[in-house]
Copies of this chain bind each other. A is one copy, B any other.
Amino acid sequence: MRVTIKDVSRASGVSIKTVSRVLNKERYVGTETRARVEAAVAALNFRPSMAARSLAGKRSFQIALICDNPSPYYVYEMQSGIRDRCALDGVRMIAQPYDRNSPTLLDDIENLVEATHVDGLILTPPVSDYPAVLDLLAKRGVRFVRVSPGSAAELAPSTFIDNEAAAAAMTAHLLGLGHRRIGFIAGHPSYATSGQRMQGYAKALGKAGIPLDPVLVREGSYDFASGAAAAEDLLALDPPPTAIFASSDDMAAGALTVAHRRGLSVPGQLSVAGFDDTALAGFVWPPLTTIRQPTRVMAYQAADLLLGPADAPVERREVAFELVVRESTGRV
């Protein structure tokens, strides 16, 4: 029925162990022997059983993505980036949508690690900053990489963008357009990046000699509805801000919708800008000026760190962000 190593060994006339050596690209295999084995593998269309490999060996050729981000685009990009990197090494990715508020999250993760023997995990915010999860993995000696961690960066390898510099760049851009009252919609405080982005906004204002007016700052929760609500609040001010900078694209889209509704979505009126973790900015009109966070690249690099040598020093790999200027940001 199933084609096994045994079949390959018979077909090529070498021992099971030698076939295993070829499969795992070990050294000390004769060139001719290797060729014969590879031919037999191809002829029989042999595919090693991951179950048997993980049971017998130290590796399982599987890694897991712990991702409970509410944005489908973010999840999709993360999975795609990781998949791309894993494909290079013949490693499989286990990706389950998780619920970050689930009381069994910790248990689920422990279960996953035990049951699947994964070689490592990739953690995204906000789980990448959950002390309980970090402790658990460290205690079990499981490798993991964190995406956009907020603290304790020395704990494990990680990938990130400079959120503070990014927010400062966008704020400076808006200031350069002549805006003096810039509304800011912050992200949910459970995400470390929220604070970093807020910092960048504040610093850029300070640098320009403009006092931070607390009334111009609202807290959202990274979704469309909270962005719309925050924008309504901000535009009800007297005088209203001439620009709104949202900490995520979903919130920026919400703000833009409010602008549409109020007839402000035309050049010379309200400027709306945002972070663009995903791709939503392409679906709204007029297109948003955004800080593009290369989620897919961060994912790829995270997988790269995870699949790299186990004894490598803890590396923090920075990925460049991009300020994408589009027409929605008109001059005041």
A79 touches B52 (CB 8 A): no
Closest B residue to A108 by beta carbon equals B87
C-beta contact mask, A74-90 vs B, less than 8 Å → 1, else 0? 01110110010000000
Interface flag for A260 (CB, 8 Å):
yes
Residues in B neighbouring A152, C-beta threshold 8 A: none
Interface flag for A224 (CB, 8 Å):
yes
Q: Are A92 and B94 CB-contacts (below 8 A) given A72-B73, A283-B253? A: yes
Residues in B neighbouring A117, C-beta threshold 8 A: 49-51
Taking chain A's interface residues, is the majority helix, strand, or loop, or is none over half, making it mixed?
Answer: helix
C-beta contact mask, A280-295 vs B, less than 8 Å → 1, else 0? 1011111000000000
How many copies of this chain does the complex contain?
Answer: 2
Residues in B neighbouring A50, C-beta threshold 8 A: 51, 115-117
Interface flag for A96 (CB, 8 Å):
yes
Interface residues of A in 79-137 (CB under 8 A from B): 79-80, 83, 92-97, 110-111, 114-117
What is the CA–CA distance of A250 and B279 in the complex, to the nearest angstrom?
12
What is the CA–CA distance of A92 and B112 in the complex, to the nearest angstrom?
9
Interface flag for A27 (CB, 8 Å):
no
Q: How many residues of A contact B (CB 8 A)?
A: 47
What is the CA–CA distance of A282 and B282 in the complex, to the nearest angstrom?
15
Q: Are A116 and B92 CB-contacts (below 8 A) given A54-B51, A55-B51, A72-B75? A: yes
Residues in B neighbouring A77, C-beta threshold 8 A: 72
Q: Are A224 and B282 CB-contacts (below 8 A) given A49-B114, A96-B93? A: yes
What is the CA–CA distance of A257 and B224 in the complex, to the nearest angstrom?
18
Interface flag for A2 (CB, 8 Å):
yes
B51 touches A111 (CB 8 A): no
Residues in B neighbouring A224, C-beta threshold 8 A: 282-283
Residues in B neighbouring A278, C-beta threshold 8 A: 72
B83 touches A96 (CB 8 A): yes
Interface flag for A25 (CB, 8 Å):
no
Interface flag for A48 (CB, 8 Å):
yes
Interface flag for A326 (CB, 8 Å):
no
A280 CB contact (under 8 Å) in B45, B55, B283: B283
B80 touches A76 (CB 8 A): no
B283 touches A261 (CB 8 A): no
Measured CB to CB, the closest approach of chain B to A66, in angstroms, equals 13
15 CB-based A-B contacts, threshold 8 Å: A2-B114, A45-B110, A47-B110, A47-B111, A50-B117, A72-B72, A72-B77, A72-B278, A73-B73, A76-B97, A83-B97, A253-B283, A280-B283, A284-B284, A284-B285
The 9 closest A-B pairs by CB, nearest first: A72-B76, A47-B114, A51-B54, A260-B285, A51-B55, A257-B285, A51-B51, A72-B72, A72-B73
Task: Give chain A's interface residues, CB within 8 Å of chain B.
Answer: 2-3, 45, 47-52, 54-55, 60, 72-73, 75-77, 79-80, 83, 92-97, 110-111, 114-117, 224, 250, 253, 256-257, 260-261, 278-280, 282-286
